[in-house]
């Protein structure tokens, strides 16, 4: 285990996730409790086993990754404004008019307060606090783009743990990609969506992504497969909706450089259908899968050195 009491702490985190889901979950939001947590842990595990990077990970790295996956969205299950950091409270006042929007907007910055609060019985151990600082930084990274300076935080603590910023950045990319891919109908109750259609535009957009994505096959052999749901209508105006969905999943391309550190690059992204509207009988690639190659091109950056360029 990466630190003392690891098993007890993981168990405690899971217990708290379940308790928060029972008491604080808002129906305007998709399920961020154990169904989501179990799903992304499964996605990461299958990806790592299939593409070989999990076997190469150090036990400490694997333990950190597991714990970060467990807590990355825990703020979506809580509405307690006391967990907002003191220096960010003024710009993140809760109010009463849009609580679900506040929950979504602040869920990442509330992670540290939440986690350290329900683990307070263990926090006398200063070494645990140092471990948690790195893990919480990993969990919070999914709210940042990979090129931002704070995509990897707690660099001193990372070094003290005997790890490297580059590999932590790669595991942060794993968290972001697994979270992005976990948006299919397995987490969507369409009846709840209809019942709470008065939610904010952002919440409704999130629900629709789930409802219209029938299934996402996680990363295996450097490949992702996404299958879209057919709507009763074949109105041509729906084409832009499915194009937007495809572009959403293409965001995985942004993490290629980070994933390359652990040889976890995603080389192919397959859509079903590859273009147009699912089930469109008028023809435009209505049933054929669309394959997007994500293999990097290469450029020379110096004498006898080659580096990957982002895919076009």
pTM here is 0.85
Q: How many CB atoms lie within 10 A of CB 233?
A: 9
Instruction: Yes or no: say if 79 and 182 are a contact pair by the CB < 8 Å rule.
Output: no
With residue 134 as reference, give the H or E element that holds it.
Answer: helix 126-140
Q: What is the per-residue DSSP string for 38-64?
A: HHHHHHHHHHHHHHSHHHHS-HHHHHH
- Quote the pLDDT of residue 189: 63
Task: Give the Cα separation of 250 and 226 in Å (integer).
Answer: 11
Instruction: Classify strands 223-228 and 268-272 as parallel, antiparallel or unpaired.
Output: parallel
- Quote the pLDDT of residue 228: 93
- Quote the pLDDT of residue 300: 39
Q: Which residues pair with 227 in a beta bridge?
A: 215, 272
Positions in the chain short of pLDDT 70: 24-30, 96, 187-199, 280-312
- Quote the pLDDT of residue 235: 86
Q: Give one word for 128, left, alpha or beta, with left for phi > 0 and alpha for psi -120 to 50.
A: alpha
Distances from the Cα of 238 to the Cαs of 9, 92, 183, 288, 309, in angstroms? 47, 36, 19, 18, 33
- Quote the pLDDT of residue 307: 39
Q: Which two tokens stand for residue 310?
A: 């982002």
Nearest to 133 by CA among 179, 168, 106: 168
- Quote the pLDDT of residue 83: 85
Angle (CA) 75 78 81, round 5°: 90
Task: Give the Cα separation of 51 and 30 in Å (integer).
Answer: 29
């Amino acid at each position: 285990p990466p630190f003392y009491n690891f098993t007890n702490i993981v168990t405690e985190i899971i217990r708290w996730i379940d308790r928060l889901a029972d008491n604080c979950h808002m129906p305007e939001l998709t399920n961020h409790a154990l169904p989501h947590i179990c799903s992304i842990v499964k996605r990461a595990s299958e990806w790592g086993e299939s593409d070989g990077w999990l076997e190469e990970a150090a036990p400490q790295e694997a333990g950190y990754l597991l714990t970060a996956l467990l807590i990355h969205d825990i703020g979506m299950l809580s509405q307690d404004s006391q967990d907002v950091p003191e220096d960010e409270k003024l710009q993140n006042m809760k109010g009463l008019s849009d609580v679900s929007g506040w929950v979504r907007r602040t869920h990442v910055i509330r992670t540290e307060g939440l986690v350290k609060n329900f683990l307070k019985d263990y926090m006398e151990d200063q070494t645990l606090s140092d471990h948690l600082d790195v893990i919480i930084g990993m969990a919070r990274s999914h709210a940042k783009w990979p090129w931002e300076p704070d995509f990897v935080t707690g660099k001193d603590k990372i070094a003290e743990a005997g790890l490297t910023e580059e590999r932590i950045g790669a595991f942060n990319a794993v968290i972001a990609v697994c979270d992005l891919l976990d948006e299919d109908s397995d987490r969507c109750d369409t009846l709840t969506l209809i019942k709470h259609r008065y939610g904010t535009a952002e919440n409704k957009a999130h629900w629709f992504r789930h409802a219209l994505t029938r299934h996402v096959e996680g990363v295996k052999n450097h490949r992702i497969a996404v299958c879209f749901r057919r709507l009763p209508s074949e109105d041509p105006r729906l084409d832009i909706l499915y194009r937007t969905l495809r572009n959403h999943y293409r965001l995985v391309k942004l993490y290629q450089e980070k994933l390359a550190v652990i040889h976890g690059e995603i080389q192919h992204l397959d859509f079903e259908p590859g273009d147009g509207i699912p089930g469109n009988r008028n023809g435009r690639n209505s049933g054929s899968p669309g394959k997007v190659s994500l293999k990097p091109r290469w450029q020379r950056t110096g004498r006898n050195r080659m580096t990957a360029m982002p895919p076009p």
